[in-house]
Amino acid sequence: MTTSRPPPLPPAPPPPPSLRGRRCLVTGGTRGLGRAIALAFARAGARVAVTHARDRAAAEAARHLLVEAGASPLVFRGSVADRAHVEAAVATVASLWGGIDVLVSNAAVTQLLPLVLIEEADWDQVMDVNVKGAFLASRAVLPHMRRAGGGHILAVGAFSVDRVVDAPVHYAASKAALVGFARALAREVAADGIRVNVLSPGLMDEGMARLLAPARLAEIAAQTGLGRLATPEEIAAAAVSLVADGAPGFAGAHLVVDGGL
């Protein structure tokens, strides 16, 4: 008489990414994708600080959501292009929490304008916020990460760097510069245990997509492999995976999450 063996059990699913105890700063973290990243970090166990430029109502709403997610957030108001603001925010986070483990340079601005209508002031503002802001924040956190023996810097790019889409030229140029900045910085600080990467979302149902005509937006969405726009929560989950404990050893990587456009 033979007895059949029960089929082997399927492998246990991997544990969810953990950021428990990590000290994180998300610039532009009170609306859209920045808020989704901050919330995802909080739900993964991180301490979360966010910056915002001017919308006090959005900042208060984000603070409330972060508290509901289990965080005790720090919220700073000011422009990431303002060195004094950036350095003060970083110094406060490091002083209260003993350091900074993760920086997400997410703050960005744009206008949906053709080149001939872009004023010099428009160009300067986009470059200051989108590129200079990442430079100032990265420079401010590096000493703290070096003292801690490592850390993560994640720059939020844009898929318009690699795709021909309806992106204004100053915005696309700023995001291309951000990729170059991150790749060069990644090589510079890798020996310190600091990883620098770029996460570029496709069009989402947030942000710049709201500036496009609905028909054009539907056309672009239909061209993706998924047949739809990404959600901020999907991109935020990718951000958690990139900086979590046991994350892949990416350094200088440019990860585009655009649904297969």
List active site positions. 171
How far apart CA 260 and CA 180 sit, in angstroms, is 23
- Which phi and psi angles does 113 have, rounded to 5°? -135, 145
How far is residue 204 from each of residues 150, 224, 235, measured CA to CA in Å?
Answer: 31, 12, 9
204 burial (CB, 10 Å; 0-12 / 13-18 / 19+) is buried
SS3 100: coil
* Cβ 225 vs Cβ 200: under 8 Å: no
180-183, Cβ contacts within 8 angstroms, sequence gap of 24 or more:
181/131, 181/134, 181/135, 181/155, 182/134, 182/153, 182/155, 182/157, 182/252, 182/254, 183/252, 183/254
How far apart CA 76 and CA 168 sit, in angstroms, is 29
How far is residue 261 from each of residues 184, 217, 220, measured CA to CA in Å?
Answer: 27, 13, 8
How far apart CA 91 and CA 49 sit, in angstroms, is 12
